[in-house]
Protein backbone atom coordinates (compact mmCIF):
# COMPACT_ATOMS: atom_id res chain seq x y z
CA UNK A 1 0.00 0.00 0.00
CA UNK A 2 1.21 3.52 -0.76
CA UNK A 3 -0.63 4.86 2.31
CA UNK A 4 -2.78 7.19 0.26
CA UNK A 5 -6.57 7.49 0.52
CA UNK A 6 -8.20 5.14 -1.94
CA UNK A 7 -10.42 6.09 -4.84
CA UNK A 8 -13.95 4.68 -5.28
CA UNK A 9 -15.16 2.39 -8.05
CA UNK A 10 -17.78 -0.38 -8.15
CA UNK A 11 -18.56 -0.01 -4.46
CA UNK A 12 -14.93 -0.58 -3.50
CA UNK A 13 -12.09 1.56 -2.24
CA UNK A 14 -9.05 0.94 -4.43
CA UNK A 15 -5.45 1.85 -5.03
CA UNK A 16 -4.65 3.18 -8.46
CA UNK A 17 -2.79 0.98 -10.89
CA UNK A 18 -0.68 4.09 -11.62
CA UNK A 19 1.13 3.56 -8.31
CA UNK A 20 1.22 7.38 -8.15
CA UNK A 21 -0.33 9.69 -5.62
CA UNK A 22 -1.21 13.36 -5.37
CA UNK A 23 -0.29 15.29 -2.22
CA UNK A 24 -2.82 17.42 -0.42
CA UNK A 25 -1.08 20.38 1.21
CA UNK A 26 -2.34 21.89 4.45
CA UNK A 27 -2.55 25.62 3.58
CA UNK A 28 -1.68 26.62 7.17
CA UNK A 29 1.47 24.54 7.59
CA UNK A 30 2.28 24.21 3.88
CA UNK A 31 3.11 20.56 4.65
CA UNK A 32 1.55 17.52 3.05
CA UNK A 33 -1.43 16.45 5.16
CA UNK A 34 -2.85 13.66 2.98
CA UNK A 35 -2.13 11.70 -0.17
CA UNK A 36 -4.76 10.57 -2.67
CA UNK A 37 -4.59 8.23 -5.65
CA UNK A 38 -3.60 9.54 -9.07
CA UNK A 39 -6.22 7.68 -11.11
CA UNK A 40 -5.43 6.61 -14.65
CA UNK A 41 -7.42 7.06 -17.84
CA UNK A 42 -8.10 3.32 -17.85
CA UNK A 43 -9.64 3.60 -14.39
CA UNK A 44 -11.77 6.48 -15.60
CA UNK A 45 -12.99 4.27 -18.48
CA UNK A 46 -14.03 1.60 -15.99
CA UNK A 47 -15.93 4.18 -13.94
CA UNK A 48 -17.96 5.25 -16.96
CA UNK A 49 -18.68 1.64 -17.94
CA UNK A 50 -19.94 0.73 -14.47
CA UNK A 51 -21.87 3.97 -14.11
CA UNK A 52 -23.66 3.36 -17.39
CA UNK A 53 -24.79 -0.11 -16.30
CA UNK A 54 -25.78 0.96 -12.78
CA UNK A 55 -27.70 3.96 -14.10
CA UNK A 56 -30.03 1.78 -16.18
CA UNK A 57 -31.24 -0.05 -13.08
CA UNK A 58 -31.33 3.12 -10.97
CA UNK A 59 -33.58 4.86 -13.51
CA UNK A 60 -36.12 2.09 -12.84
CA UNK A 61 -35.85 2.42 -9.06
CA UNK A 62 -38.99 4.09 -7.69
CA UNK A 63 -38.62 7.74 -6.78
CA UNK A 64 -39.62 7.13 -3.17
CA UNK A 65 -36.78 4.62 -2.84
CA UNK A 66 -34.28 7.09 -4.27
CA UNK A 67 -35.60 9.68 -1.81
CA UNK A 68 -35.29 7.23 1.07
CA UNK A 69 -31.66 6.61 0.19
CA UNK A 70 -30.83 10.32 0.06
CA UNK A 71 -32.42 10.80 3.50
CA UNK A 72 -30.22 7.99 4.78
CA UNK A 73 -27.11 9.64 3.34
CA UNK A 74 -28.14 12.92 4.97
CA UNK A 75 -28.45 11.21 8.36
CA UNK A 76 -25.01 9.64 7.97
CA UNK A 77 -23.49 12.97 7.00
CA UNK A 78 -24.91 14.57 10.14
CA UNK A 79 -23.62 11.69 12.22
CA UNK A 80 -20.11 12.02 10.73
CA UNK A 81 -20.11 15.79 10.35
CA UNK A 82 -17.19 16.34 12.72
CA UNK A 83 -14.59 14.06 11.06
CA UNK A 84 -15.59 15.35 7.60
CA UNK A 85 -15.32 18.94 8.84
CA UNK A 86 -11.90 18.18 10.34
CA UNK A 87 -10.68 17.28 6.84
CA UNK A 88 -11.92 20.63 5.53
CA UNK A 89 -10.03 22.43 8.30
CA UNK A 90 -6.81 20.67 7.29
CA UNK A 91 -7.19 20.59 3.51
CA UNK A 92 -8.67 23.99 2.72
CA UNK A 93 -8.08 25.90 6.00
CA UNK A 94 -11.76 26.64 6.41
CA UNK A 95 -12.57 27.88 9.95
CA UNK A 96 -13.78 25.00 12.15
CA UNK A 97 -17.32 26.34 12.63
CA UNK A 98 -17.80 27.04 8.92
CA UNK A 99 -16.44 23.59 8.07
CA UNK A 100 -19.02 21.99 10.31
CA UNK A 101 -21.85 24.10 8.95
CA UNK A 102 -20.81 23.20 5.40
CA UNK A 103 -21.41 19.52 6.18
CA UNK A 104 -24.70 20.10 8.02
CA UNK A 105 -25.91 22.39 5.22
CA UNK A 106 -25.11 19.57 2.78
CA UNK A 107 -27.20 17.08 4.75
CA UNK A 108 -30.08 19.59 4.77
CA UNK A 109 -29.64 20.01 1.02
CA UNK A 110 -29.97 16.25 0.47
CA UNK A 111 -33.15 16.04 2.55
CA UNK A 112 -34.68 18.94 0.68
CA UNK A 113 -33.59 17.48 -2.63
CA UNK A 114 -35.30 14.17 -1.84
CA UNK A 115 -38.55 15.93 -0.97
CA UNK A 116 -38.47 18.33 -3.90
CA UNK A 117 -37.56 15.50 -6.24
CA UNK A 118 -40.56 13.42 -5.19
CA UNK A 119 -42.93 16.22 -6.17
CA UNK A 120 -41.11 17.74 -9.13
CA UNK A 121 -39.89 14.59 -10.88
CA UNK A 122 -43.14 12.77 -10.31
CA UNK A 123 -45.09 15.32 -12.32
CA UNK A 124 -45.22 15.39 -16.11
CA UNK A 125 -47.60 16.73 -18.73
CA UNK A 126 -50.61 15.41 -20.55
CA UNK A 127 -51.35 17.26 -23.79
CA UNK A 128 -54.21 16.72 -26.22
CA UNK A 129 -53.64 17.40 -29.92
CA UNK A 130 -56.82 19.36 -30.46
CA UNK A 131 -55.39 22.60 -29.16
CA UNK A 132 -53.30 22.82 -32.35
CA UNK A 133 -55.02 23.84 -35.63
CA UNK A 134 -56.27 20.98 -37.74
CA UNK A 135 -55.99 18.34 -35.03
CA UNK A 136 -58.62 16.32 -33.24
CA UNK A 137 -58.57 14.86 -29.75
CA UNK A 138 -57.25 11.55 -31.01
CA UNK A 139 -53.63 12.10 -29.99
CA UNK A 140 -52.55 12.33 -26.37
CA UNK A 141 -49.00 13.19 -25.43
CA UNK A 142 -47.58 11.95 -22.13
CA UNK A 143 -44.43 13.90 -21.38
CA UNK A 144 -42.27 12.80 -18.47
CA UNK A 145 -38.88 13.64 -16.99
CA UNK A 146 -36.21 11.01 -17.55
CA UNK A 147 -32.56 11.00 -16.45
CA UNK A 148 -29.70 12.16 -18.67
CA UNK A 149 -27.39 9.24 -17.88
CA UNK A 150 -23.98 9.81 -16.31
CA UNK A 151 -23.33 13.22 -14.74
CA UNK A 152 -19.75 14.39 -14.30
CA UNK A 153 -19.58 16.48 -11.12
CA UNK A 154 -16.58 18.75 -10.55
CA UNK A 155 -16.74 20.86 -7.38
CA UNK A 156 -14.09 23.42 -6.35
CA UNK A 157 -11.81 23.60 -3.31
CA UNK A 158 -13.87 26.20 -1.46
CA UNK A 159 -16.87 23.91 -0.85
CA UNK A 160 -15.57 20.39 -1.52
CA UNK A 161 -18.53 18.86 0.32
CA UNK A 162 -21.43 21.23 -0.25
CA UNK A 163 -20.75 21.90 -3.92
CA UNK A 164 -20.32 18.15 -4.47
CA UNK A 165 -23.61 17.36 -2.75
CA UNK A 166 -25.43 20.17 -4.62
CA UNK A 167 -24.61 18.24 -7.81
CA UNK A 168 -24.88 14.66 -6.51
CA UNK A 169 -28.21 15.13 -4.76
CA UNK A 170 -30.20 16.37 -7.78
CA UNK A 171 -28.33 14.07 -10.18
CA UNK A 172 -29.02 10.90 -8.20
CA UNK A 173 -32.57 11.86 -7.25
CA UNK A 174 -33.30 12.40 -10.94
CA UNK A 175 -32.09 8.88 -11.74
CA UNK A 176 -28.58 9.61 -13.01
CA UNK A 177 -25.25 8.01 -12.14
CA UNK A 178 -22.43 10.31 -11.03
CA UNK A 179 -18.71 10.42 -11.58
CA UNK A 180 -17.27 12.81 -9.01
CA UNK A 181 -13.88 14.46 -9.50
CA UNK A 182 -13.11 16.24 -6.23
CA UNK A 183 -10.63 19.12 -6.11
CA UNK A 184 -7.19 17.99 -4.95
CA UNK A 185 -7.41 20.37 -1.96
CA UNK A 186 -10.59 18.96 -0.43
CA UNK A 187 -10.30 15.50 -1.99
CA UNK A 188 -10.22 13.68 1.34
CA UNK A 189 -13.31 15.49 2.62
CA UNK A 190 -14.90 14.53 -0.70
CA UNK A 191 -13.95 10.87 -0.24
CA UNK A 192 -15.43 10.83 3.27
CA UNK A 193 -18.59 12.45 1.95
CA UNK A 194 -18.77 9.79 -0.78
CA UNK A 195 -18.41 7.12 1.87
CA UNK A 196 -21.72 8.29 3.38
CA UNK A 197 -23.40 7.44 0.05
CA UNK A 198 -21.69 4.05 0.03
CA UNK A 199 -22.59 3.30 3.64
CA UNK A 200 -26.21 4.28 3.02
CA UNK A 201 -26.40 1.48 0.46
CA UNK A 202 -26.09 3.24 -2.87
CA UNK A 203 -26.15 0.62 -5.66
CA UNK A 204 -22.74 -0.57 -6.83
CA UNK A 205 -21.26 1.50 -9.64
CA UNK A 206 -23.77 4.34 -9.42
CA UNK A 207 -21.20 6.68 -7.88
CA UNK A 208 -17.50 6.69 -8.67
CA UNK A 209 -14.88 9.07 -7.29
CA UNK A 210 -11.78 9.80 -9.38
CA UNK A 211 -8.93 11.60 -7.67
CA UNK A 212 -5.89 12.89 -9.49
CA UNK A 213 -4.45 15.96 -11.10
CA UNK A 214 -6.79 17.91 -13.33
CA UNK A 215 -3.87 18.35 -15.72
CA UNK A 216 -3.67 14.56 -16.16
CA UNK A 217 -7.28 13.38 -16.15
CA UNK A 218 -9.28 16.63 -16.43
CA UNK A 219 -9.64 16.74 -20.23
CA UNK A 220 -10.02 12.99 -20.38
CA UNK A 221 -12.99 13.19 -18.00
CA UNK A 222 -14.71 16.16 -19.55
CA UNK A 223 -14.27 14.98 -23.15
CA UNK A 224 -15.14 11.35 -22.42
CA UNK A 225 -17.84 9.85 -24.65
CA UNK A 226 -19.47 8.40 -21.52
CA UNK A 227 -20.38 11.86 -20.17
CA UNK A 228 -24.02 12.90 -20.50
CA UNK A 229 -23.89 16.12 -18.45
CA UNK A 230 -21.20 18.22 -16.80
CA UNK A 231 -21.82 20.18 -13.63
CA UNK A 232 -18.76 22.26 -12.82
CA UNK A 233 -18.03 24.93 -10.24
CA UNK A 234 -14.70 26.69 -10.28
CA UNK A 235 -12.63 29.20 -12.18
CA UNK A 236 -11.74 29.90 -15.80
CA UNK A 237 -11.13 26.18 -16.41
CA UNK A 238 -14.91 26.06 -16.87
CA UNK A 239 -14.62 28.19 -20.00
CA UNK A 240 -12.18 25.77 -21.62
CA UNK A 241 -14.33 22.81 -20.52
CA UNK A 242 -17.32 24.47 -22.22
CA UNK A 243 -15.35 24.92 -25.42
CA UNK A 244 -14.19 21.31 -25.50
CA UNK A 245 -17.29 19.56 -24.18
CA UNK A 246 -19.41 17.62 -26.62
CA UNK A 247 -23.14 17.90 -27.11
CA UNK A 248 -24.03 17.55 -23.45
CA UNK A 249 -25.92 19.89 -21.12
CA UNK A 250 -23.57 22.07 -19.08
CA UNK A 251 -24.08 23.60 -15.68
CA UNK A 252 -21.24 26.01 -15.01
CA UNK A 253 -20.63 28.32 -12.10
CA UNK A 254 -17.39 30.20 -12.57
CA UNK A 255 -15.97 33.37 -11.09
CA UNK A 256 -17.60 36.50 -9.82
CA UNK A 257 -16.67 40.12 -9.23
CA UNK A 258 -19.61 40.80 -6.98
CA UNK A 259 -20.11 44.49 -6.38
CA UNK A 260 -21.75 46.22 -3.44
CA UNK A 261 -23.40 49.44 -4.56
CA UNK A 262 -23.88 51.80 -1.63
CA UNK A 263 -26.32 54.64 -2.28
CA UNK A 264 -26.16 57.95 -0.47
CA UNK A 265 -29.38 57.17 1.47
CA UNK A 266 -28.19 53.77 2.73
CA UNK A 267 -28.11 52.68 6.36
CA UNK A 268 -24.32 52.87 6.47
CA UNK A 269 -23.86 50.86 9.67
CA UNK A 270 -25.91 48.01 8.22
CA UNK A 271 -24.10 48.27 4.86
CA UNK A 272 -20.67 48.20 6.49
CA UNK A 273 -21.50 45.16 8.63
CA UNK A 274 -22.90 43.30 5.64
CA UNK A 275 -20.00 44.21 3.37
CA UNK A 276 -17.32 43.19 5.88
CA UNK A 277 -19.06 39.85 6.41
CA UNK A 278 -19.59 39.43 2.66
CA UNK A 279 -16.03 40.30 1.74
CA UNK A 280 -14.08 38.48 4.43
CA UNK A 281 -15.91 35.29 5.38
CA UNK A 282 -13.72 32.33 4.47
CA UNK A 283 -11.08 34.97 3.77
CA UNK A 284 -12.85 36.08 0.60
CA UNK A 285 -12.53 32.68 -1.08
CA UNK A 286 -16.12 32.57 -2.29
CA UNK A 287 -17.49 33.25 -5.77
CA UNK A 288 -20.14 35.29 -3.98
CA UNK A 289 -17.76 37.34 -1.83
CA UNK A 290 -18.11 41.12 -2.10
CA UNK A 291 -15.17 41.96 -4.36
CA UNK A 292 -15.70 45.65 -5.01
CA UNK A 293 -17.53 48.41 -3.18
CA UNK A 294 -18.96 51.17 -5.39
CA UNK A 295 -20.00 53.99 -3.09
CA UNK A 296 -21.57 57.35 -3.85
CA UNK A 297 -18.97 60.01 -3.10
CA UNK A 298 -21.21 61.88 -0.61
CA UNK A 299 -21.12 59.00 1.88
CA UNK A 300 -17.76 57.46 0.94
CA UNK A 301 -15.84 58.91 3.86
CA UNK A 302 -18.39 57.70 6.42
CA UNK A 303 -18.69 54.24 4.83
CA UNK A 304 -14.93 53.71 4.64
CA UNK A 305 -14.67 54.66 8.33
CA UNK A 306 -17.30 52.08 9.26
CA UNK A 307 -15.68 49.42 7.04
CA UNK A 308 -12.29 50.11 8.63
CA UNK A 309 -13.77 49.58 12.10
CA UNK A 310 -15.26 46.29 10.93
CA UNK A 311 -12.01 45.09 9.40
CA UNK A 312 -10.12 45.98 12.58
CA UNK A 313 -12.37 43.54 14.45
CA UNK A 314 -11.44 40.53 12.29
CA UNK A 315 -9.32 37.90 14.01
CA UNK A 316 -6.39 36.61 11.94
CA UNK A 317 -5.11 33.11 12.67
CA UNK A 318 -5.65 29.43 12.18
CA UNK A 319 -8.79 27.59 11.07
CA UNK A 320 -8.52 25.28 14.10
CA UNK A 321 -8.90 28.37 16.31
CA UNK A 322 -11.88 29.46 14.25
CA UNK A 323 -10.17 32.69 13.26
CA UNK A 324 -12.04 34.94 10.80
CA UNK A 325 -9.11 35.24 8.44
CA UNK A 326 -7.21 32.01 7.79
CA UNK A 327 -4.45 31.10 5.31
CA UNK A 328 -5.55 31.15 1.67
CA UNK A 329 -5.60 27.83 -0.13
CA UNK A 330 -2.15 27.87 -1.76
CA UNK A 331 0.99 29.91 -2.09
CA UNK A 332 0.22 30.53 -5.76
CA UNK A 333 -3.12 31.98 -4.72
CA UNK A 334 -1.38 34.18 -2.12
CA UNK A 335 1.12 35.31 -4.81
CA UNK A 336 -1.72 36.21 -7.17
CA UNK A 337 -3.51 38.25 -4.49
CA UNK A 338 -0.25 39.97 -3.59
CA UNK A 339 0.22 40.87 -7.28
CA UNK A 340 -3.20 42.55 -7.41
CA UNK A 341 -2.48 44.51 -4.24
CA UNK A 342 0.97 45.66 -5.45
CA UNK A 343 -0.58 46.83 -8.72
CA UNK A 344 -3.16 48.92 -6.82
CA UNK A 345 -0.42 50.26 -4.56
CA UNK A 346 1.74 51.40 -7.51
CA UNK A 347 -1.26 53.10 -9.11
CA UNK A 348 -2.10 55.06 -5.96
CA UNK A 349 -4.76 53.19 -3.95
CA UNK A 350 -4.94 54.11 -0.26
CA UNK A 351 -4.29 51.41 2.36
CA UNK A 352 -6.88 52.25 4.99
CA UNK A 353 -5.98 49.74 7.71
CA UNK A 354 -2.24 49.36 7.35
CA UNK A 355 0.22 47.95 4.82
CA UNK A 356 0.17 44.60 3.07
CA UNK A 357 1.20 41.82 5.45
CA UNK A 358 1.78 38.16 4.62
CA UNK A 359 3.19 35.17 6.49
CA UNK A 360 3.23 32.07 4.30
CA UNK A 361 -0.29 31.74 2.96
CA UNK A 362 -1.77 33.91 5.69
CA UNK A 363 -2.72 37.38 4.45
CA UNK A 364 -3.92 40.10 6.80
CA UNK A 365 -7.23 41.64 5.72
CA UNK A 366 -6.86 44.73 3.56
CA UNK A 367 -9.20 47.62 2.89
CA UNK A 368 -8.15 49.67 -0.13
CA UNK A 369 -9.77 53.02 -0.85
CA UNK A 370 -9.57 55.22 -3.99
CA UNK A 371 -9.35 52.21 -6.27
CA UNK A 372 -9.74 53.34 -9.89
CA UNK A 373 -10.73 51.58 -13.12
CA UNK A 374 -7.11 51.43 -14.33
CA UNK A 375 -6.24 49.08 -11.45
CA UNK A 376 -6.52 45.32 -11.82
CA UNK A 377 -8.44 45.19 -8.52
CA UNK A 378 -11.31 47.08 -10.19
CA UNK A 379 -11.91 44.09 -12.50
CA UNK A 380 -10.15 40.94 -11.30
CA UNK A 381 -11.22 38.50 -8.63
CA UNK A 382 -8.64 38.25 -5.81
CA UNK A 383 -10.27 35.29 -4.02
CA UNK A 384 -8.61 36.51 -0.85
CA UNK A 385 -9.09 38.91 2.07
CA UNK A 386 -8.89 42.14 0.08
CA UNK A 387 -11.70 44.68 -0.19
CA UNK A 388 -11.31 47.45 -2.78
CA UNK A 389 -13.46 50.59 -2.58
CA UNK A 390 -14.16 52.73 -5.64
CA UNK A 391 -15.83 56.10 -5.14
CA UNK A 392 -18.38 56.93 -7.82
CA UNK A 393 -20.15 60.16 -8.75
CA UNK A 394 -23.51 58.46 -9.26
CA UNK A 395 -25.39 55.19 -9.01
CA UNK A 396 -25.49 55.15 -12.82
CA UNK A 397 -21.68 55.11 -12.89
CA UNK A 398 -21.69 52.20 -10.41
CA UNK A 399 -24.15 50.21 -12.51
CA UNK A 400 -22.13 50.91 -15.67
CA UNK A 401 -18.97 49.59 -13.99
CA UNK A 402 -20.80 46.48 -12.81
CA UNK A 403 -22.13 45.79 -16.30
CA UNK A 404 -18.76 46.33 -17.95
CA UNK A 405 -17.31 43.41 -15.97
CA UNK A 406 -16.84 40.09 -17.73
CA UNK A 407 -18.43 38.53 -14.66
CA UNK A 408 -22.09 38.67 -13.69
CA UNK A 409 -22.67 36.34 -10.76
CA UNK A 410 -24.17 38.31 -7.90
CA UNK A 411 -24.16 41.83 -6.55
CA UNK A 412 -25.85 43.83 -3.85
CA UNK A 413 -27.32 47.25 -3.34
CA UNK A 414 -27.74 49.21 -0.13
CA UNK A 415 -30.48 51.83 -0.04
CA UNK A 416 -33.52 52.70 2.08
CA UNK A 417 -35.61 53.26 -1.07
CA UNK A 418 -37.21 50.03 -2.28
CA UNK A 419 -38.16 51.62 -5.61
CA UNK A 420 -34.54 52.58 -6.23
CA UNK A 421 -33.41 49.10 -5.15
CA UNK A 422 -35.63 47.38 -7.70
CA UNK A 423 -34.61 49.80 -10.46
CA UNK A 424 -30.92 49.24 -9.70
CA UNK A 425 -31.39 45.47 -9.55
CA UNK A 426 -33.14 45.57 -12.93
CA UNK A 427 -30.27 47.58 -14.38
CA UNK A 428 -27.52 45.30 -13.00
CA UNK A 429 -26.71 42.50 -15.44
CA UNK A 430 -25.93 39.89 -12.79
CA UNK A 431 -27.58 36.58 -11.95
CA UNK A 432 -28.75 37.72 -8.50
CA UNK A 433 -28.93 41.07 -6.75
CA UNK A 434 -29.33 41.17 -2.99
CA UNK A 435 -31.02 44.17 -1.46
CA UNK A 436 -29.50 45.32 1.84
CA UNK A 437 -27.52 42.10 2.37
CA UNK A 438 -24.30 40.64 0.99
CA UNK A 439 -24.31 38.22 -1.96
CA UNK A 440 -24.83 34.56 -1.06
CA UNK A 441 -25.84 31.38 -2.81
CA UNK A 442 -27.95 30.09 0.04
CA UNK A 443 -30.54 29.15 1.08
CA UNK A 444 -29.73 26.31 -1.27
CA UNK A 445 -33.17 26.06 -2.87
CA UNK A 446 -32.91 29.60 -4.28
CA UNK A 447 -32.00 29.86 -7.98
CA UNK A 448 -28.28 30.52 -8.40
CA UNK A 449 -26.84 31.59 -11.74
CA UNK A 450 -24.13 33.65 -13.31
CA UNK A 451 -24.37 35.79 -16.43
CA UNK A 452 -21.59 36.22 -19.04
CA UNK A 453 -18.33 34.50 -17.95
CA UNK A 454 -19.82 33.66 -14.55
CA UNK A 455 -21.71 30.66 -15.80
CA UNK A 456 -24.20 28.66 -17.80
CA UNK A 457 -27.57 27.54 -16.48
CA UNK A 458 -29.14 27.99 -13.09
CA UNK A 459 -28.62 26.00 -9.92
CA UNK A 460 -30.60 25.77 -6.71
CA UNK A 461 -32.28 22.48 -5.90
CA UNK A 462 -35.31 22.76 -8.20
CA UNK A 463 -33.31 24.18 -11.10
CA UNK A 464 -30.62 21.51 -10.78
CA UNK A 465 -33.24 18.76 -10.76
CA UNK A 466 -34.75 20.30 -13.90
CA UNK A 467 -31.37 20.53 -15.55
CA UNK A 468 -30.48 16.91 -14.89
CA UNK A 469 -33.45 15.40 -16.69
CA UNK A 470 -34.65 15.42 -20.27
CA UNK A 471 -38.21 15.31 -21.53
CA UNK A 472 -39.51 12.04 -22.92
CA UNK A 473 -42.85 11.86 -24.71
CA UNK A 474 -45.10 8.95 -25.47
CA UNK A 475 -47.90 9.84 -27.87
CA UNK A 476 -51.03 7.73 -27.72
CA UNK A 477 -52.86 7.64 -31.05
CA UNK A 478 -56.50 6.75 -30.66
CA UNK A 479 -58.95 5.54 -33.28
O1 LIG B 1 -17.88 30.11 -4.26
C2 LIG B 1 -18.90 29.23 -4.41
C3 LIG B 1 -20.28 29.85 -4.32
O4 LIG B 1 -21.21 28.89 -4.66
C5 LIG B 1 -20.55 30.57 -3.03
O6 LIG B 1 -21.45 30.00 -2.16
O7 LIG B 1 -22.71 29.79 -0.06
O8 LIG B 1 -20.59 31.08 -0.08
O9 LIG B 1 -22.57 32.00 -1.19
P10 LIG B 1 -21.86 30.77 -0.79
Region 258-263: mean pLDDT is: 99
pLDDT in tens, 434-463: 999 999 999 999 999 999 999 999 999 999
Alpha-carbon span 280 to 288, nearest angstrom? 11
Could you confirm whether 253 is annotated as catalytic?
Answer: yes
d(CA 304, CA 290): 15
Q: Is 285 exposed, middle or buried (0-12, 13-18, 19+ CB in 10 A)?
A: buried
pLDDT tens digit string along 83-109?
999 999 999 999 999 999 999 999 999
Looking at the chain, the whole-number percentage of residues with pLDDT higher than 70 is 100
Phi-psi region of 350 (alpha: psi -120 to 50; beta: other; left: phi over 0): beta
Q: Is it the case that residue 29 has pLDDT exceeding 90?
A: yes
Q: Which of 437, 462, 460, 465 is nearest to 449 (CA)?
A: 460
Per-residue confidence (pLDDT) for residue 2, from 0 to 100: 76
Most distant CA pair in the chain, distance: 82
Given the residues 39, 229, 287, 402, select the one marked as catalytic: 287
Give how far the C-alpha of residue 124 lies from the chain's centroid of Cα atoms, to the nearest Å.
29
Q: What is the pLDDT of residue 223?
A: 97
Radius of gyration of the chain from Cα atoms?
A: 24
Per-residue confidence (pLDDT) for residue 460, from 0 to 100: 97
How confident is the model at residue 190, as a pLDDT? 98
Cβ pair 345, 369 in contact under 8 A: no
| pLDDT > 90: percent of the chain | 98
Of 92, 163, 251, 291, which is best to mutate to test ligand 1, by the most ligand atoms within 8 angstroms of its C-beta?
Answer: 163
CA distance 355 to 341: 10
Predicted confidence at residue 226, as pLDDT, reads 98
320 in active site: no
The predicted complex's ipTM stands at 0.90
What pLDDT is attached to residue 385? 98
pLDDT of residue 215: 86
Q: Of 91, 102, 253, 296, which residue is the catalytic one?
A: 253
Average pLDDT over residues 282-291: 98
pLDDT, one tens digit per residue, over 320-372 is 999 999 999 999 999 999 999 999 999 999 999 999 999 999 999 999 999 99
Distance 24 CA to ligand 1 centre (A): 22
Output the CA 459–ligand 1 centroid distance in Å: 12
Cα-to-centroid distance, 2 and ligand 1 (Å): 35
**pLDDT confidence of residue 97:** 98
Average pLDDT, the chain: 98
Q: Does the structure show a pLDDT above 80 at 377?
A: yes
Q: What pLDDT shows up at residue 3?
A: 86
Atom of ligand 1 nearest to the CA of 439: 9
pLDDT in tens, 389-401: 999 999 999 999 9
What does pTM read for this prediction? Answer: 0.98
pLDDT at residue 316 greater than cutoff 90: yes
Whether pLDDT at 135 is above 90: yes
The 10s digit of each residue's pLDDT in 191-248 is 999 999 999 999 999 999 999 998 889 999 999 999 999 999 999 999 999 999 989 9
Mean pLDDT of the region 143-172: 98
Q: What average pLDDT does this structure show over 129-134? A: 98
Ligand 1: which residues within 6 Å by Cβ?
A: 158-159, 286-288, 440-442
CA of 132 to the centre of ligand 1 (A): 45
The alpha helices in 317-417, defined as continuous H runs, are: 331-346, 395-404
Alpha-carbon distances of 3 from 66, 208, 349, 384, 405, rounded to whole Å: 34, 20, 49, 33, 46
70-80 per-position pLDDT tens digit: 999 999 999 99
Q: How confident is the model at residue 48 (pLDDT cuts 50, 70, 90)?
A: very high
Q: Of 412, 380, 404, which Cα lies nearest the Cα of 293?
A: 412
Higher pLDDT, 410 or 214: 410
pLDDT at residue 1 is higher than 80:
no
Amino acid sequence: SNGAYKYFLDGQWRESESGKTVSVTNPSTRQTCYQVQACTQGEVDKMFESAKVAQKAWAKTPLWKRAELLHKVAALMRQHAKPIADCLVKEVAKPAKDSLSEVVRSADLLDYCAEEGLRFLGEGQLLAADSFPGHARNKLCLASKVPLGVVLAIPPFNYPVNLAVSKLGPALMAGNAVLLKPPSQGAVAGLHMAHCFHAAGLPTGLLAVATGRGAEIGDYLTMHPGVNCISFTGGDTGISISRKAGMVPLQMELGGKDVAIVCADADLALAARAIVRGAFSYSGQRCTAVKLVLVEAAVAEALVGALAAGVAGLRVGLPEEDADITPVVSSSSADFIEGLVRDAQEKGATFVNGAFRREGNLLWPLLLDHVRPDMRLAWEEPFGPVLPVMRVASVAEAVAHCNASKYGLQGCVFTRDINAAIAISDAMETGTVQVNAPPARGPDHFPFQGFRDSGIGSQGIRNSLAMMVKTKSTVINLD
